[in-house]
Chain A
Amino acid sequence: MPQMNMVQAVNDALRLELKRDPRVVLLGEDIGKVGGVFRVTQDLQKEFGPDRVIDTPLSEGGIIGAAIGMALYGLHPVPEIQFSDFIFPAFDQIVSELAKFRYRSGGEFPAKMVIRTPVGGGIRGGHYHSQSPEAYFIHTPGLKVVCPSNPYDAKGLLLASLRDPDPVLFFEPKRVYRAARSEVPEGDYTVPLSQAKVVRPGQHVTVLAWGAMLYEAIEAANQAAALGVDSEVIDLRTLWPVDIDTIIASVKKTGRVVVVHEAPKTCGFGAELIALINEKAFLHLEAPPVRVTGYDTPFPYTLEMDYLPLAGRILPALVETARY
């Protein structure tokens, strides 16, 4: 089985689906000739032509608006937003239109697409190349939100998203685009949406994480083990609709939970996860649920490693929660 990084795995999934399904069309800024600023779509235009892998004008609202029209026609568009920080010009099309089309038309006009976009910090990108805007979209009924942490899941989740009947925001953690490597099967396979994965079983405290921060959570869990704290790390993989059963089963076992995410703390997805845990497992809790997140500031440049919830900040949260 070949080793791939996440860039190669996503590229492989896109190539496979472009070949398999003539309805699939990729569009975005710089995705054609140059293969995307992260080279995720490298060589796809060469292979499938400029009508299937389209370099668009520099307009996120135009990309998503046009992609919605394509989806209404019956194509399966896969728009790329170059950085998720630049998704906001398309926010109206995503939130007011894409998310509501099936519902508002009484089922007459389902609009299916996968919006791919790199997410997260730790790449010296400052405010506008580092943010994690997932909560805005989780908050919007009608959207699904996915964020893989490794190449195997990236390919399998992307193929599942491409075949899903609903609009999916597919956040690719750019900090681990090339750093994360794993064995990736060459052919077709899917990783089902809305299924979390217990990546490190443990008894004392549940850690919920996704994307690039999963590695920080695992690192912190390994360090905590040396201090006698046995952490159960769960990779959510699909953020919404979230795999509530896996989360609740784990929290009922450990009675303790730490949520890790890069996005700002207030109204971040961690707040929703903890509210759900309170609703469904309150009597099993042995300690207050804890969030280790980005701060409620704009994403900083020079001090970004202090801003991110790295292992150094997760470790004391695990130990304190376990010993509470």
Chain B
Amino acid sequence: MQTQFVLDDVVTVIGPDGVADPATDPKLPGETVVKLFKHMLLTRQLDERLVLLQRQGRIGFHIGSLGEEACILGPAAALGGDDWLWPCYREFGALLLRGMPMQTYLDNMYGNANDAVKGRQMPDHYSGRPYKFGSVSSPIGTQITQAVGFSWAAKMKGDKSVSLVFFGEGATSSSEFHNGMNFAGVYKTPTVFLCRNNGWAISVPADQQTASQTFAQKAFAYGMTAVRADGNDLLAMVKVTRDAIERGRNGEGPTLIEALTHRLSGHSTSDDPKAYRNEAEMKAEREKDPVPRLRAYLVGLGLWDDAQESAWAEQVDGEIKRAVETAEKTAAPALHTMFEDVYATQPWHLAEQQAEAERAPRPAGHGGGGGH
């Protein structure tokens, strides 16, 4: 498998004319692609709204996926119902696709009393156990080793589930990447490593993360299958992830996928890319946007038109508005929740500190987080 890998090979399905290459086409039913395209539009619409809410000071932070929707939703769509997804922090679109209601996500953005993580983390640090979706933390790469451990446990127990773990190209510089890849290689765990190479780790370009020609080739050192794919092509991402999941399920071990994509925004709402990006380059990247790419494919097949798109946008807009309104009206978590879940049962010192907090004057809260 490894010897077939050619550095210049990038799996692509949808050509510039919007037509799928029959050699690589995952041949999804038209209605499935429409559903995924609608979800892609929803993800982007929500993304843009969240940036606006942050600019208005209504939420503290947002870390979005503008331009990376195809390589987040494609892999998520390739997962089976028993498979697990271990997020980095840009995968809210995948979380919604896996079934988290919009309201639950917005409650997380507001850190309110209905937030699944009880307002304990910054916005976009969600947790989705009911959707077989991990818990987000900020340290880079830690989820990689955990996903390997999880899928290793599944393999030990004879469970056929596969774990898909997301990370950016910057995370390949972390010790966690090495640890996870190495353990996965040695124990042939059913893990799919999904490296979204969006070109930038905050302000540091990909060529300063590695002297390797590609990120994918790092897999060879771990005795692992590697593949590069056009990360702006949703069908290509479905195809390569589906193949990798299949290999994992069949006991053929892990795969590293390098998805080539572009970050069409700053790192997060706390970042201003003008300091390190040039406009011409960004303009060229916007022309490779995954949304028009998939739209052209669907329009070509007669499965999508402008009327459908504007009706969908209106529907999503209403849904977002209602969820925002409800999230804003929901109270902050009660003070005592700060002292719960540190341990399974509350030890004496936390009971004391909770009592102390309950006696203390309440400061004016900000109800949202800062950012990085």
Given A62-B145, A109-B134 in contact, is the A96-B341 Cβ separation under 8 Å? no
Contacts of B137-158 to chain A: CB distance below 8 A: 137, 139, 142, 144-154, 156-157
Are B118 and A106 interface neighbours, CB within 8 A? yes
Contacts of B115-130 to chain A: CB distance below 8 A: 115-118, 120-121, 125, 127-129
Are A62 and B137 interface neighbours, CB within 8 A? no
Binds B, one of A7-15, A97-105, A123-131, A146-154: A97-105
Please, which residues of chain B bring their CB within 8 A of the CB of A100? 137
With both chains docked as a complex, state the minimum distance between the C-beta of B96 and any C-beta of chain A, in angstroms.
17
Q: Mark A83-118, 1 if CB is under 8 A from B, else 0.
A: 000000100110011001111111111100000000
Tell me which of A65, A97, A144 contacts B148 (CB under 8 A): A65
Indicate if A75 sits at the interface (CB-CB under 8 A): yes
Please, which residues of chain A bring their CB within 8 A of the CB of B147? 69
CA distance A70 to B178 in the complex (A): 18
Q: How many residues of chain B are within 8 Å of chain A by beta carbon?
A: 44
Indicate if B180 sits at the interface (CB-CB under 8 A): yes
CA distance A51 to B340 in the complex (A): 35
Indicate if B348 sits at the interface (CB-CB under 8 A): yes
Are A106 and B142 interface neighbours, CB within 8 A? no
Q: How many residues of chain A are within 8 Å of chain B by beta carbon?
A: 45
CA distance A151 to B150 in the complex (A): 33
Tell me which of A69, A89, A194, A244 contacts B149 (CB under 8 A): A69
Tell me which of A70, A105, A241 contacts B348 (CB under 8 A): A241
Please, which residues of chain A bring their CB within 8 A of the CB of B344? 102, 110, 164-166
Secondary structure call for the B interface: helix
Are A67 and B341 interface neighbours, CB within 8 A? no
Given A69-B145, A69-B149, A104-B120 in contact, is the A97-B137 Cβ separation under 8 Å? yes
Are A106 and B145 interface neighbours, CB within 8 A? no
Are A106 and B156 interface neighbours, CB within 8 A? no
Please, which residues of chain A bring their CB within 8 A of the CB of B348? 241, 244
Are B175 and A97 interface neighbours, CB within 8 A? no
Indicate if A182 sits at the interface (CB-CB under 8 A): no
Given A61-B175, A68-B146 in contact, is the A74-B139 Cβ separation under 8 Å? no
Are A101 and B343 interface neighbours, CB within 8 A? no
CA distance A101 to B136 in the complex (A): 10
Indicate if A59 sits at the interface (CB-CB under 8 A): yes
Given A73-B150, A75-B153 in contact, is the A103-B347 Cβ separation under 8 Å? no
Please, which residues of chain B bring their CB within 8 A of the CB of A160? none
Please, which residues of chain A bring their CB within 8 A of the CB of B355? none
Please, which residues of chain B bring their CB within 8 A of the CB of A271? none
Please, which residues of chain B bring their CB within 8 A of the CB of A93? 142, 145
Are A70 and B150 interface neighbours, CB within 8 A? yes
Please, which residues of chain A bring their CB within 8 A of the CB of B116? 105-106, 108
Q: Mark A25-58, 1 if CB is under 8 A from B, else 0.
A: 1000000000000000000000000010000110
Tell me which of A104, A142, A144 contacts B135 (CB under 8 A): A104
Indicate if B176 sits at the interface (CB-CB under 8 A): yes
CA distance A166 to B183 in the complex (A): 25
Contacts of B78-125 to chain A: CB distance below 8 A: 115-118, 120-121, 125
Indicate if A72 sits at the interface (CB-CB under 8 A): yes
Are A241 and B347 interface neighbours, CB within 8 A? yes
Are B145 and A65 interface neighbours, CB within 8 A? yes
Given A69-B151, A89-B175 in contact, is the A103-B137 Cβ separation under 8 Å? no
With both chains docked as a complex, state the minimum distance between the C-beta of B125 and any C-beta of chain A, in angstroms.
7
Contacts of B157-207 to chain A: CB distance below 8 A: 157, 175-176, 178-180, 182-183, 186
Are A65 and B137 interface neighbours, CB within 8 A? no
Are B115 and A65 interface neighbours, CB within 8 A? no
With both chains docked as a complex, state the minimum distance between the C-beta of A161 and any C-beta of chain B, in angstroms.
13
Ordered nearest first, which 8 A-B pairs have the shortest CB separation? A69-B149, A65-B145, A66-B149, A62-B179, A69-B150, A73-B153, A165-B344, A241-B347
Which A residues lie at the B interface, using CB under 8 A?
A: 25, 51, 56-57, 59, 61-62, 64-75, 77, 89, 92-93, 96-97, 100-110, 141-142, 144, 164-166, 194, 241, 244
15 contacts between A and B (CB under 8 A): A25-B156, A61-B179, A67-B149, A69-B147, A71-B149, A73-B149, A89-B175, A102-B342, A104-B120, A104-B127, A106-B118, A109-B134, A241-B347, A241-B348, A244-B348
